[in-house]
Amino acid sequence: MRGPPGLGWSCPGRDSVARVGVYFDAATAMPPHPVARQAFLAALDDGWADPGKLYTPARRARQLLDAARAAVAEVLGARPDELHFTAGGTDAIRQAVAGVRRARDRRLVVHTAVEHSAVIKAAGDLAVQVPVSLTGRVDLGALETALDSPEVAMAAVQSANHEVGTVQPVAGAAALCRSAGVPLLVDAAQSIGRVALPTGWSLLAGSARKWGGPAGVGVLAVRKGTRWEQPWESPVDVPAVVAAAAALRAVQAEAATEAARLSALVEEIRATVAATVPDVEVVGEPVERLPHIVTFSCLYVDGEVLLHALDRAGFAVSSGSACTADTLRPSHVLAAMGVLTHGNVRVSLHSAVSTEDVRRFLAVLPGLVADVRAEVGM
């Protein structure tokens, strides 16, 4: 058993994490950036006091928090006083939705059918889902129609999809929202620190663990002039926020290089899987996509069985197939697109993934898929 010192475990070295296998689930959580670790430890020593107090240690914590806020705001294209730290990405989205509903005294949320479940849950029953294409792009005509109602409190359009990587036409959506007088929430969780962020939003939400910061830190930028009342204040964990900001600066500095490298690997996965695995559907936009996410579905394959086979082979991937979800329902994203939901595999890459890791995955995949199919006589 390994774990943090002081809890009865010996402390793991960084290489012991790597030995577990190849981690292909960056879209869920990035491995913590080394800079985040250093910043966190330093801020534990220096920023433990309550930043709201007036004595010297509190002022020091406040300075660290302000510096973190300025650094994150710059990356998001926001002013520091527009930025709120939250208790995570889901909390950021819930605050965005609850705060606009309260300030505008309207309830209806118009959102794409492929938003993250955090948006769908925050919107609840008082929501209109806007359909998407077979590749997962929102139908702007349907969005325009949905916005044309006095009941609409806000719209939500993600920067890019978390399951299939499709980039959404946020500029077009923002123009429609502007002319309808409806505030637009952009969930940018998969884009922050990786690609250029969209503009034209009223609210922008993200999650630090998607960019190599700690879990439990979210960001919500609210453009000045947006009718939004903060519905609750989440406790601010200064060392975690400092670590999140440090990680974001670090990944942002390498974003263009990394995006090019990972996008080429995704392109290789898309082409190779389609060529070497029979009866497979590679889903999502082939060009207008995120650099790090690729998803495919294998006909006649049980997603859970394939996921475990890949895990035994040393590859940690995610799946939108029903059998891998706690609800036993297939991914709402794949269902809204109308693509095969079973036999689904999502591979999401990050800076510690090498070309060799990807090629080893591509080498073992066809045999594993064939084995799973053989077991059901296909």
Could you list the active site residues? Answer: 323
Q: Which of 330, 349, 365, 368 binds another protein (CB under 8 A)?
A: 330
Q: Which of 131, 175, 300, 313 binds another protein (CB under 8 A)?
A: 300
Residue 341 in contact with another protein, rule: CB under 8 A: yes
Residue 301 in contact with another protein, rule: CB under 8 A: yes
Instruction: Quote the least distance from Cβ 71 to another protein, whole Å.
Output: 43
Residue 237 in contact with another protein, rule: CB under 8 A: no
Q: Which of 43, 317, 340, 353 binds another protein (CB under 8 A)?
A: 340
Q: Which of 95, 321, 348, 351 binds another protein (CB under 8 A)?
A: 321
Complex with another protein: residue 249 or 342, whichever CB lies closer: 342
Identify which range of 159-167, 173-181, 268-276, 320-328 contacts another protein by CB under 8 A: 320-328
Q: Which of 156, 242, 343, 357 binds another protein (CB under 8 A)?
A: 343
Residue 168 in contact with another protein, rule: CB under 8 A: no
Complex with another protein: residue 148 or 375, whichever CB lies closer: 375
Tokens of 374: 């053989």
Complex with another protein: residue 71 or 370, whichever CB lies closer: 370
Q: Which of 322, 349, 362, 368 binds another protein (CB under 8 A)?
A: 322
Residue 333 in contact with another protein, rule: CB under 8 A: no
Secondary structure, 3-state, the chain: CECCCCCCCECCCHHHHHHCCEECECCCCCCCCHHHHHHHHHHHHHCCCCCCCCCHHHHHHHHHHHHHHHHHHHHHCCCHHHEEEECCHHHHHHHHHHHHHHHHCCCEEEEECCCCHHHHHHHCCCEEEECECCCCCECHHHHHHHHCCCCEEEEECCCECCCCCEECCHHHHHHHHHHHCCCEEEECCCCCCCCCCCCCCCEEEEEHHHCCCCCCCEEEEECCCCCCCCCCCCCCCHHHHHHHHHHHHHHHHCHHHHHHHHHHHHHHHHHHHHHHCCCEEEECCCCCECCCEEEEEECCCCHHHHHHHHHHCCEECECCCHHHCCCCCCCHHHHHHCCCCCCEEEEECCCCCCHHHHHHHHHHHHHHHHHHHHHCCC
- Residue 23: phi, psi to the nearest 5? -95, 115
Identify which range of 84-92, 166-174, 196-204, 297-305 contacts another protein by CB under 8 A: 297-305
Complex with another protein: residue 22 or 334, whichever CB lies closer: 334
Q: Which of 223, 342, 346, 350 binds another protein (CB under 8 A)?
A: 342
Instruction: Quote the least distance from Cβ 298 to another protein, whole Å.
Output: 9
Residues lying near another protein in the complex (CB under 8 A) are found at: 279, 281, 297, 299-302, 321-323, 328-330, 334-335, 338-343, 376-378
